[in-house]
Amino acid sequence: LKAKKGVYTCPMANAVVEGPHALPADVRDTMIQRDTELLASGKPVFARLGVIRASAAEFWNYFPVINLNVATAATYGVTERQKDSALFAIEAKVIKLRDF
């Protein structure tokens, strides 16, 4: 990010920014803490929750679809201020509740 008279610019302004996936445990814990703080600073504008029973091995094949859906959000990104532009965090999460 570059600041000029209180205005920030970023060469990745039209991209979905993600952190690395393979990290040492202490760095990962710090990133999770920062992500949690970032998300807590905003307010949810959409949520969807579904619970299914599935083969863990087969359900793994669905993860690339989730990844693609999150990345596709960049299609709606803008680089200039608009009257209704905002900064959004798009989160996808799969939680294994229990063996069943």
Q: Are 13 and 5 in contact (CB under 8 A)?
A: no
**pTM metric for this prediction:** 0.72
Distance CA 99, CA 92 (A): 21
Q: Are 34 and 23 in contact (CB under 8 A)?
A: no
Write out the two tokens for 86: 């905002």
Q: Per-residue pLDDT for the chain (100 aa), expressed as one digit of tens each?
A: 566 777 777 777 777 777 777 889 999 899 889 989 999 999 999 999 999 999 999 999 999 999 999 989 989 988 888 999 998 999 999 999 999 9
Q: Which residues contact 47 (CB under 8 A, 6 or more apart)?
A: none
Distance CA 10, CA 67 (A): 23
Residue 15 is predicted with a pLDDT of 72
Residue 2 is predicted with a pLDDT of 60
